[in-house]
Amino acid sequence: MNAIYILWLRQIKRYLRARSRIVGSIGQPLLFLVALGFGLGPVYAAAGGGNYMDFLAPGIIAMGVLFTAVFSGIQIIWDRQFGFLKETLVAPVSRLEIMFGQTAGGASVALLQGIIVFCLTLIVGFRPDNWFMVPLALCFAALIALLFTALGLAIASMLDDMQGFQLIMNFIVMPLFFLSGSLFPAKNLPTALSVVVRLDPLTYGVDGLRGALTGVSQFGLGTDTLVLGIMVVILVAIGSWLFSRVQI
């Protein structure tokens, strides 16, 4: 447990020290909120969809968590190249504890990022339907963070090149985000696209956040929680197995 705590604390300290990283990471969510929220808002309202900012904000919060979570995996490659990973792996702790510590740390950083983006949505005019449901929304954000941190670490365990990791993750992350219903309603879609959207695990995270913050959920909060929970267990197990095979 000490190893998990130390690795978790290390990730948090790194994030808090990198002030430029914190400022830079809010640029993209802010751009989406302003450009899409205000740009497409009148079109969305004219089509009978209501307030587009209320629809968009949960998706942008999920985006902030997603990008931070998956790219936390690059820390393993960085540590491998500079020797810190070797020192960690030869320590008298199991690799499973190391994986859990890395996952917990990356997920905590991603959750902090999600909270920052949530504050941005409040600045641009978004308001939760029920403030008492905000803790539930944070629980969904935490599940998203755990899920995609585990995914990032699993992929990073198989690579030793930072540029290759970034290319692969961009190839995975962008479709996950754009096909999650973050920017458009996930109903009344063409059959093929509807199937793809339902297979995207982020869809259920966005739907859970939207249900908690706006009271509108397509799949139901129970279904969203169940799917995310199952996917977290599966990906943490896969990530742990892949990390156990890392060569030093």
Residue 185 has pLDDT above 60, yes or no: yes
Q: Find the length of the chain.
A: 248
Q: What is the mean pLDDT of residues 155-176?
A: 80
What average pLDDT does the structure give for the chain?
Answer: 83
Query: What is the DSSP track for 137-187?
Result: HHHHHHHHHHHHHHHHHHHHTT---HHHHHHHHHHHHHHHHHTTTSSS-SS
Residue pLDDT, tens place only, 218-236: 899 999 999 999 999 998 8
- Name which residue leads in pLDDT, 7 or 1: 7
**Which pLDDT belongs to residue 18?**
60
User: In which band, very low, low, confident or very high, does the pLDDT at 247 lie, cut at 50, 70 and 90?
Assistant: low
**Which pLDDT belongs to residue 140?**
95
